[in-house]
Amino acid sequence: MYPFTLVKVNDTAAAIKSASGNEHAKFIGGGTNLVDLMKMNIEKPEKLIDLNRLALKKIEKLSNGNILVGALVTNTDLAYHPLIRSHYPLLSEAILAGASPQLRNVATTGGNLLQRTRCYYFYDTATPCNKREPGSGCSAISGYSRIHAILGTSEQCIATHPSDMCVAMTALEAIIHVEGKDGKRIIAFSDFHSLPGEHPHIENTLAPADLIIAAEIPALGFAANSTYVKVRDRSSFDFALASAAVALDVQAGSVKHARIALGGVGTKPWRALAAEQALIDKPATMSHFELAADEELKNAKTTLYNSFKKELAKRTLISALQKTGGMV
């Protein structure tokens, strides 16, 4: 680990000011991902800005019915909050499917949004990785790619986004509140994470010194009928090989609204818009669930070692649709 300076701040303005003008400054909350990356010399911040004194630990219902989740709310507090469990069960289930209880007790909502990939080659500094060292190459494309992405990939990167929480947030169309040198702004969740394209090291749309303040979850009545299904090698604690977050509005046996996102298969939390469109105004039947899954995965790009993920993702999605569609 490289040496760094630790700075503790008491408000957002001080945090942003401390980060401004220093491209090697990083914000830290729980540090469950960042500290690991520092230990492995992947992240090398000169300055760490400790956010834990900031008043960003509340979960509150807004006047418009939306839920505002502070950036420092822990994963445990978010998953077990009564509003989340009753109105957005897919989000609670997604968080509880990720990490261990010890990590969830420390990891924050804002930090979860910024998780970096668990690609073998990203973590191995002896191998080329465009995400870690731009222009060096992607070892995974011709290497062992079992855990890697099949959606949203490029010739420069096939690393999978690791977060479970973000998959559920994507399906719910959450909004990210950000404060920076130029003031406050909001970012739609679908616009927050970047596809790798030609620049895999650019993982989100934050500007330098931007601080995540909160995530806002829209009021969505039918989200109470939702679920998160995750398939992984170890059920106790492992990253997804495939996952699906699904919320359905089923009326008189027909799907009126659908919100679907996939995890474990995309280079970013993957909004399954094609599957959603395929279901609208269709009967909530197994045949239509299968057609929706086929439509979403038809353009998946697999490698030698992860070709199984295409069928696995379909079955995972179908399972989630069955549960929310009243078939299980």
Which residue type sits at 38? M
- Per-position b or e across 202-225, b if 16+ CB within 10 A of its CB: ebbebeebbbbbbbbbeebebbeb
Predicted confidence (pLDDT) at residue 92 exceeds the cutoff of 70: yes
In this prediction, residue 326 carries a pLDDT of 85
Confidence of residue 98 (pLDDT cuts 50, 70, 90): very high
Quote the CA–CA distance of 123 and 114 in Å, as a whole number: 16
Confidence of residue 121 (pLDDT cuts 50, 70, 90): very high
Predicted confidence (pLDDT) at residue 140 exceeds the cutoff of 80: yes
Quote the CA–CA distance of 86 and 230 in Å, as a whole number: 20
Query: Do the domains 225-324 and 1-53 match in fold?
Result: no
In this prediction, residue 236 carries a pLDDT of 82
Mean predicted confidence (pLDDT) in 54-62: 98
Confidence of residue 21 (pLDDT cuts 50, 70, 90): very high
CATH architecture for residues 225-324? 2-Layer Sandwich (3.30)
Quote the CA–CA distance of 156 and 206 in Å, as a whole number: 21
Predicted confidence (pLDDT) at residue 167 exceeds the cutoff of 90: yes
Mean predicted confidence (pLDDT) in 194-202: 98
In this prediction, residue 237 carries a pLDDT of 85
Share of the chain above pLDDT 70, in %: 100
1-53 under CATH 1.20.120.1200, yes or no: no
Question: Per residue in 201-226, pLDDT tens?
Answer: 999 999 999 999 999 999 999 999 99
The CA-atom distances, in angstroms, between 39 and each of 2, 94, 106, 132 are 8, 27, 18, 15
Beta strands in 31-71 (DSSP E): 47-50, 59-61, 67-70
Share of the chain above pLDDT 90, in %: 98
Confidence of residue 327 (pLDDT cuts 50, 70, 90): confident
Is there a contact between 268 and 161 (Cβ–Cβ < 8 Å)? yes
Q: Where are the domains of the chain?
A: 1-53, 225-324
Predicted confidence (pLDDT) at residue 328 exceeds the cutoff of 80: no
Mean of per-residue pLDDT scores for the chain: 97
Q: pTM here?
A: 0.97
Mean predicted confidence (pLDDT) in 62-77: 98
Mean predicted confidence (pLDDT) in 174-188: 97
Mean predicted confidence (pLDDT) in 269-278: 98
Is there a contact between 92 and 79 (Cβ–Cβ < 8 Å)? yes
